[in-house]
Chain A
Amino acid sequence: MSSVRRQTAWRRRFRAASWILPLFFLLVIALLPYLWVLLTSFKPKDEIFVSPPSLLFDPVLDSYRSVFVDKGFGRYLFNSIVVGLSSTLVAVTIGVLAAYALARHKVPGSNHLMFFILSTRLGPPVAFALPMYLIFYRLGMLDLGVAVILAHASFNLVLVVWMMKSFFEDIPKEVEEAARLDGCGHFGVFFRISLRMAWPGVVTVAIFVLLFSWNELLFSLILSAGQWRTMTVMIPTLVVQTSTLWGEVAAACVVQSIPVILFTFMGQKHLVRGLTFGAVKG
């Protein structure tokens, strides 16, 4: 009797191990490389290049000081913030309006419009960045940082429209119909009822737009010049022929990714929807 019970206890332990061990393994694989770079960013210069790699050292902020003071990354961080916030403002404002009209009203050719908006995001980004480059080159406006803001707003528009459409569709129609019956106009219903009910969705979408703009490389690489280069463009430039400033790279990578990780925690409820343009509701 007791041997049977011992057997089932073993089986239960084995069954638990069959998912706990893979999950533990997954967590280690996913986090270790990042934690290693986080650790490196606090190392003194000579500790970075030793092999075998050192684990014990006196943490210093040299790399952070060097990358922000000597390499001028404060400016690029500022640029990334400006580009992120302005492109988010543009994309969310015009995208939310369009998403509402497409979700609530029968618009002739709305499928074509959704398809057109989508197609701007599906292609290789160069195919959209070069045409914009040609225009801004002719206008002589590449140094103003406007091109990259417009480009980010444009490629994030699809996310706003698709995702907000699914958020608006989740709002019960009855509330809006009741407001209409009480004499509220189309504009009133939108601003007083629908937009307020969908506000958590708007915030979520804005977080994702900001995130994608913040992380984007190719558009920024092609369309930002001189003083308006962003973080993602400048981090690879720390790798130079003669020597690579790995401490500085690690510090810049940590500074670039800390907001992203905070956003991930804030937006985790809608992560699935955000990453699939609202095509999958998590």
Chain B
Amino acid sequence: MAKGRWPALRIRWHSKEVFVFFCLAPVLLFLTLTSVLPSIVALGDSLTNWNLAGFAKQPRIVGLANYTTLLGNDPQFWGALRRTAVFVLVVVPIELVLGLAAALCFDRYFFGRRLMITLVMIPTMIAPVVVAMLWRFILAPSFGAGTYLLQSVGLFKNVPIFSDPATAWLAIMLIDIWEWTPFMMLIMIAGLSSLPSEPIEAARIDGAKPWQILWHVQLPMLRPLIVVAVLFRAIDASKMFDAVYVLTGGGPGTDSTSTITFFAHKAIFGSWKLGYGSAICMVLGLMSLIAAAAFNKIVSARKEPA
């Protein structure tokens, strides 16, 4: 091989390009194998009526039938979607307000502050499935400690909490608030402690009351951080699965508490309709791409001016 005949093919081992390629190739290969390729396969399957529970029939191509059924004629899909939206819209603002209030209590130095923050974080850190089991035990009919407390103040005397759609749904929301308020609190503590102290001092010297300082000085400065925190929580809450899976199984009745992730899991692995399930995944994947685009825009817009 004559030297220099193909200059473009000569590899300069110490160049920046080789190094960057070496760094990025594994991640690209890995994501191709675990995301791109499976998605292409699923896209193909979503056009078939593949069903593992059927009588081992060869899957047939049905075109867009799965999609038209899902979007046009599946009340469970739309119900779960609506329920998930309500869940996010109720739970996230409450967690934000409670988390901010808790963070304001922590916004001072006292002995044992860090230990206390870490202890309060436990509900967020332990596995969601453990959280759900924990509450299922505490709210168990007849012997649950929480049930006992509620009954001693005259609530749920005759009806178990998870037998009524409204109270079951309320319980799931309250459990989510218990689990994730510490997360909001932690981010708000970080935000409050990173604020410059001069504007707050200036406002105090000018005679502003603490709530005036909060509303007119601290909150406006915290706004970019609140946006990120709300976004994170909203995305995570929209995927909620574990609590429904453990506590209600989507019931009582048919799908009174099922969220979109639970709906998808049940539709796919409850009836083994893999073709239809693939169509569900394609639609959800597209929705999450839109969410990711919005997220990326907001987070990078926050980072640039800093």
Contacts and interface: CB of A to CB of B under 8 A. Distances in A.
Interface of A: 19, 22-23, 26-27, 29-31, 33-34, 36-37, 40, 48-53, 90, 93-95, 97-98, 100-102, 105, 107, 111, 113-120, 122-128, 130-132, 134-135, 150-151, 153-154, 157, 161, 185-187, 190, 211, 214-218, 221-222, 232, 235-236, 239, 244, 246, 249-250, 253, 256-257, 260-261, 263-265, 268, 271-272, 275-276, 279-282
Interface stretch (B1-9, B13-21, B155-163): B13-21
A90 B33 CA distance: 14
10 contacts: A116-B31, A122-B235, A127-B284, A217-B242, A218-B261, A253-B134, A256-B126, A257-B130, A264-B118, A280-B190
Contacts of A23: 102, 105-106, 116
B127 A214 contact: yes
A37 B186 contact: no
B281 to A, nearest CB: 4
Nearest to A22: B105
B242 A132 contact: no
A16 to B, nearest CB: 10
Contacts of B277: 130
Interface in B40-79: 41-42, 45
A119 B24 contact: no
B288 A282 contact: no
Contact of A264 (B116, B121, B134): B121
Dominant secondary structure of chain A at its interface with chain B? helix
Contacts of B27: 94-95, 97-98, 117, 157, 161
B187 A276 contact: yes
B20 to A, nearest CB: 5
A29 B293 CA distance: 37
A131 B122 contact: no
Interface of B: 14, 16, 18-20, 22-24, 26-27, 30-31, 33-35, 37-39, 41-42, 45, 101-102, 104-106, 108, 114, 116-130, 133-138, 140, 142-143, 145-146, 148, 178, 182-183, 186-187, 190-191, 225, 228-229, 232, 235, 238-239, 241-242, 245-246, 260-261, 264-265, 268-269, 274, 277-278, 280-282, 284-285, 287-289, 291-293, 295-296, 299-300, 302
Contacts, number: 273
Contact of B278 (A134, A263, A272): A134
A167 B157 CA distance: 54
Given A30-B182, A130-B268, A130-B278, A279 B228 contact: yes
Contact of B35 (A30, A107, A113, A120): A120
A19 B30 contact: no
A257 B137 CA distance: 16
A98 B241 CA distance: 31
A100 B16 CA distance: 13
B245 to A, nearest CB: 7
A126 B284 contact: yes
Contacts of A271: 121, 186
A30 B120 contact: yes
A264 B122 contact: yes
A50 B246 CA distance: 23
A31 B285 contact: no
